[in-house]
Amino acid sequence: MALTSGTELGPYKIVSLLGAGGMGEVYRATDSKLGRDVALKVILQEFAQDAQLMARFQREAQVLASLNHTNIASIYDLGESGGVSALVMELVEGPTLAERIKEGAIPIEEALPIAKQIAEALEYAHEHGIIHRDLKPANIKLTHDGKVKVLDFGLAKPLPDDASAHNISNSPTLSMAATKAGIILGTAAYMSPEQARGKTLDKRTDIWAFGVMLYEMLTGQRPFCGETMTETLAAIIEEEPQWEAIPAKARLLLQRCLEKDPKRRLRDIGDAMPLLESAALPGLVAPPPARRQWLWPSIAAVLLAALALLSFAHFREAAPAAEPTRFSIPPPEEAAFVSGPPWGSPLAVSPDGRRIVFVAAGKDGKRRLWVRPLDSLADQPLVGTEGASAPFWSPESKWIAFFANGKIMRVAATGGEAQTLCQCQSGGGGGTWNQDNVILFSPAVAGASGLFRVPAAGGAPLAVTTLDSANGEIGHVWPVFLPDGQHFLYNINGGDRSGIYVGDLNSTKRLRLLPLDEISTLGYALPGYLLYVRGRVLFAQAFDAKRLSLADDPIRVLEGVENAGPGSAAFSVSSSGVLVYWGGAVPRSEQLTWVRRNGMRIATVGPPGAYFHFSLSPDERRVAVTRYEPGEGGLHTAIWLLDVLRGMSTKFTFEWGAGMPVWSPDASHIVFASSREGPPALYQRPTSGPVGQDEVLVKGGDNHPTDWSPDGRTIVYEVLDAKTRNDLWLLSLSGQRKSVPLIRSPFNETGGRISPDGRWMAYASDESGRDEMYVTNYPEPRGKWRVSPEGGTQAEWRRDGRELFYRAPDRKVMAVPIKSGANFDAGTPQALFEIPPDVGPWLQGGVDQREYAVSSDGQRFLIGVKVGEESSAPLTVVVNWTAGLRRD
């Protein structure tokens, strides 16, 4: 948006461009009203159009403008003119401290007065409840008259425990704006150890950065540095500065500022003042204690002998191996890491090990991609990636491909417009990108397909592998290219053939490397390791990528990897030796709540729980809920029954992976899906009596029940098919219990619900490009009527058949009047109420998952209301992770 000289923005006339920042360009301008020069930071249009961000930005600018101190650059105004928003700041002439340090070390008599003014600015800000968080020499200006000005409090944050900050504690800080703009929050070399680990920060992080700057002023060198960002962070966490390079009389001050444990660090920057003043006094260094001169020859002889022995031993030893370094990354502000359907790892580290892309959901509940440089605390959301899952990088670490909304897409790691590469089933089964710009992917979220290739620029997918359905194969998923770009690792899912295989782009031949019943996301890392997860344990096994052979036994790398379902192991590894994994989230609870048609809450049902699908019994006395709960290897699902009147809850299933309950018309049985023996199969169980009376109804494939016919004779269920995607089938419960397809097409059909009179069935289909609600004849689908004008899922009928309900894309429950008669006659849908946005984070993929239930008279609705917060483990980054393997 570069502005030319002479451009006027309100009373400000542009003179020249001074530079560019994360949120826009900075110009020298003249204030025509007051006749003074100012610095004008023109905010990029993409951020200025975000009303919520600009409101927060304005509130925090007002707070920071209240910092009236001679050593803090002032903020004058935040205005808008002609659609351009700008921050008006004090124009500070002179070089930055970074420019001064480039000339060489600063003499102590010059450095200490500079440090004193910086400390005074920080003390004032801290007293007013503000921490800077991005102190570095580039943010310090040195005026020509000897004044010091601290700049760029744009990343500042209120102190959480400071009473003076209470008047702004209800307002998000500028750090949120900075995060969205992609500004580096704390250059790596100046981060405190707690900042590098992603922990909660207080004013002591500024004290650390102050110490780093003073060290650099006095020596001309940074105390912690490395060739890469990860080496720099490792040095901050583990290494000590070269104290002998510091003048003795300033050493105590720096040691107090650079304590790695914040509890032992200076608590207040004001405590540095006496040390600064003492260091500035001449002749302060105490003389060494008197020595007995006659001891020195003897001591010297002993030392020389010892040094000789040590030298001999030292040069015979090999250099010690580098140790793995770990640090943590918390989720973005007002967002949470997410995984679980659609499947796939929710994170990926770039091949060069410099950045991580991950899936996180904001307060609006939308999943999108974020990018985090490892030398920064800034998380940048990528616009246009809503609904994303299973991201993967281009080999040069510049692009990110991902699955979203039935497509494979790509976006630049630095942001920009997302591009569609090809169509793909919702969720996808993983992808990989080679140096010849070929993308290899699985198009089906639950497998049910071979692998396909597509050019990285987009085009028509071509089949690479084919399912051997006759021998039980039901999916090829989670491919990973090997270094030659021709061979690849992938999972085959299906009975005796399940395992990890090697495939070839130029051949149909394949090689089974490892039998593995549990589908896992895969990884390959130099110098030659295959990585996979069993349960929540990450394993590595030596693998020769040229000979395509495994060696030795698998090594346990670490435990506690999130593994929410098939192929959802949350880990990634780079070719540069960086491993990233996530420990998962503890789902927040929902309280099942009755509401009226206008959304007014009237009663609760049962205890809160991590529910994501529920079904009201026909007699309205019980609710069957699918609930997440901890188990071996991570979170699992089980079905519980909640008593509507008494509020009691009883566990209904005890095996792994049960869910999606559907009641029989007389409430005597429940049919449900269970993954206890592989892909979801259908089981039936009585709702009373002893446990263990499960009856298998449908086995093989990927099946989920959606309804039970009013006459009790038929079950409607979904089947994921390799060719026709999600279809609706009928299972007869009489005679030979045959299954027949009801609606089978190239599109996804979900959530079939039979009308109370047994004449019609409502269902959702994405044949128009998005889910819409349709009604067809039952049990013979002759006609078809679309009843949702703007999208819909999750159909429910009123008991008398006079209304059909569904959930619209904006989360509103809609009611459609239905006239009884020989022909289907639907009225105009009317919005009733909105389901709370924090409900239903698990609602992804093609299966029918319910967020509401309706009473028989259609006057009350059962919904989930958020209770408490979801707690999320941070991402863990392990630099030089293979060093740990050598010790095993």
Element (H, E) at 314: helix 296-316
- By C-alpha distance, which of 834, 399, 835 is closest to 614? 835
Residue (of 541, 443, 412, 545) closest to 485 by Cα position: 545
The answer to whether 701 touches 679, Cβ cutoff 8 Å, is yes
Helical H runs in 391-451? none
Exactly one of 134, 152, 202, 727 is catalytic; name it.
134
283: CB partners within 8 A, 6+ apart? none
Angle (deg, nearest 10), helices 108-127 and 204-219: 170
Backbone angles phi, psi at 566, to 5 degrees: -55, 120
Rounded Cα–Cα distance for residues 428 and 185 (Å): 34
Instruction: List CB contacts of 528: < 8 A, sequence separation 6 or more.
Output: 542, 543, 544, 545
Give the integer Cα–Cα distance in Å for 884 and 557: 8
Strand partners, 402: 409
- Distance between CA atoms of 817 and 814, rounded to whole angstroms? 10
Q: Which helix (H) or strand (E) holds 581?
A: strand 578-582
Phi, psi (5° rounding) for residue 659? Answer: -175, -175
Q: How many CB atoms lie within 10 A of CB 449?
A: 28
DSSP 3-state of 125: helix
User: Alpha-carbon dihedral of residues 430, 435, 436, 442, nearest 10 degrees?
Assistant: -10
Neighbours of 659 (CB within 10 A): 25
Rg (CA), the chain: 32
Q: How far apart are CA 184 and CA 379, in angstroms?
A: 9
Q: Which amino acid is at 206?
A: D
Nearest-angstrom CA–CA distance, 301 and 555: 50
From 679, 655, 660, 657, select the one nearest 671 (Cα to Cα): 660
Q: Does the CA dihedral 298-299-301-306 come out positive or negative?
A: positive
Q: Does the active-site annotation cover 134?
A: yes
Give the orientation angle of helix 51-65 with respect to helix 174-181, to 10 degrees: 130
- DSSP 8-state assignment for residue 311: H
How many residues does this entry show for the chain? 888
- Asked if residue 618 has a cis previous peptide bond (ω within 30° of 0), the answer is no
53's enclosing H/E stretch is helix 51-65
Instruction: Give Cβ neighbours of residue 647 (< 8 Å, ≥ 6 apart).
Output: 605, 606, 607
The catalytic residue positions are 134
